[in-house]
Amino acid sequence: MDRSLSTAARAFARSAFGRDGRLFFASGRVNLLGAHIDYHGGCVLPVAVDRGVAVVAAPRADRKLRLASADFPARFELDLDALPSAATLGWSAYPVGVVAALRADGHALPGLDLAFAGDLPIGAGLSSSAAILVATATAVAALAGIELAPIDAARLAFRVETTFVGVKCGIMDPFASALGKPGHALALDCKTQRYDHVALPVERMAFLMLDSMTRRELKDGGFNRRVAESTGALAKLQAVLPHATCLRDVTPAELERHRPLLTDQEWQRARHVVTEVARVARARGHLERGELLEFGQLMWLSHLSSRHLYEVSTPRLDALQELSLSHPGCWGARLTGAGFGGCALAVVRPDAVEPFSARVAAGFEQRFGQRPAIHALRFGQAPGEVVDA
């Protein structure tokens, strides 16, 4: 966590509520490979990053829940014992959902002041929502004296986002935020929730976030439609493949054999999933052996599949990916997050960061009349309380 975020979060808490509190932080993430397969039971390779969400939390003597965010103007003062539904809450649906879930699980909570600040661009595809959820769960559990292991925080965050907030996502984002490890990718099996960590050749890798300067909200439109289209394909395939509990269980050969059962659109969505599952399986070995050229090729194929089969890319994201691959210092690049806007991720040689960034920024500005924000990312930390030095 950057010291400037710590300072900003505490200053915001004092301006919002007139007092300080205990400071907690949870990381955002970038996903090296495994686009839109976590909610289909696939394996993914996310990395927790040093940008994320900080929350300053303080208990209250009454039963009020007060929430404020440095990123959104709306503030909320709620009755802890009569929390409203997500539809009326805007951004605060995420922390309110955590509080509601902990209470539903039988935990006694005090009144709370929660002040949020972050250095993740909202809606950019770096999982700001999961970071908010994990940070809130970590903070509220600490103040209430609840023992909450990181994996339990991840599962709670997933439950809140899918049920209370209503985003039909998978487990990758909260698990990456809660279980990330410096210098490693999280190898997460989204069907079984088993995971381990893959050591990365970090001396040869630099991660750059390439911001397309466009945003999206997952609860609206395109994302949930992709979920419906791909799960619709699964439902038809299950009639002839009863062993398939999710699209991860369907092989490319089985998909081709039963293509006549699907509409063209359903086949495209399913084709992306089953080929992406296979790419991730190959990618782990390349990373473990330090074969970054081969890994970069899989990133390129993943982007093409996300663009043409799952149709979640945009002209700006495509331009960032193409400009990245035009530089000889780039190992690979692809859109990250759900798409529909947000960011691309480029993996480059550390000695190429500056010339790479200059070329990509200039090329993007020439096409769109706007310079992209380009940020170097470092590895994140486990969620928890931050003790200021």
Q: Return the pLDDT at 297.
A: 98
CATH class for the domain made up of 202-377 = alpha beta
Distance, in Å, from the CA atom of 258 to the CA atom of 244, rounded to the nearest integer, reads 13
Are the C-beta atoms of 95 and 116 separated by less than 8 Å? yes
Q: How far is CA 212 from CA 112, 225, 361, 371, in A?
A: 37, 22, 10, 9
Question: What is the 8-class DSSP label of residue 23?
Answer: E
- Model confidence at 158, pLDDT cuts 50, 70, 90, reads very high
Q: Is 105 a catalytic residue?
A: no
Q: What is the pLDDT of residue 125?
A: 59
Model confidence at 121: pLDDT above 80: no
- Selecting among 38, 173, 211, 249, the annotated active-site residue is 173
Report pLDDT for 389: 46
Q: What does pLDDT average to over the chain?
A: 94
CATH of domain 3-199+380-385: 3.30.230.10
pLDDT tens string 7-60: 999 999 999 999 999 999 999 999 999 999 999 999 999 999 999 999 999 999
Q: What pLDDT, on a 0 to 100 scale, did the predictor assign at position 123?
A: 63
Q: Which two tokens stand for residue 250?
A: 């369907």
> How far from each other are the two terminal CA atoms of the chain, in whole angstroms?
12
Write out pLDDT tens, residues 62-86. 999 999 999 999 999 999 999 999 9
Pair of tokens at residue 255: 């998909």
Enter the pTM of the model.
0.91
Proportion of the chain above pLDDT 70, given as a percent: 97
The per-residue pLDDT for 48 is 95
- Annotated domain spans of the chain: 3-199+380-385, 202-377
On the question of pLDDT at 365 being above 80, the answer is yes
* Mean pLDDT, range 254-277, rounded to an integer: 98
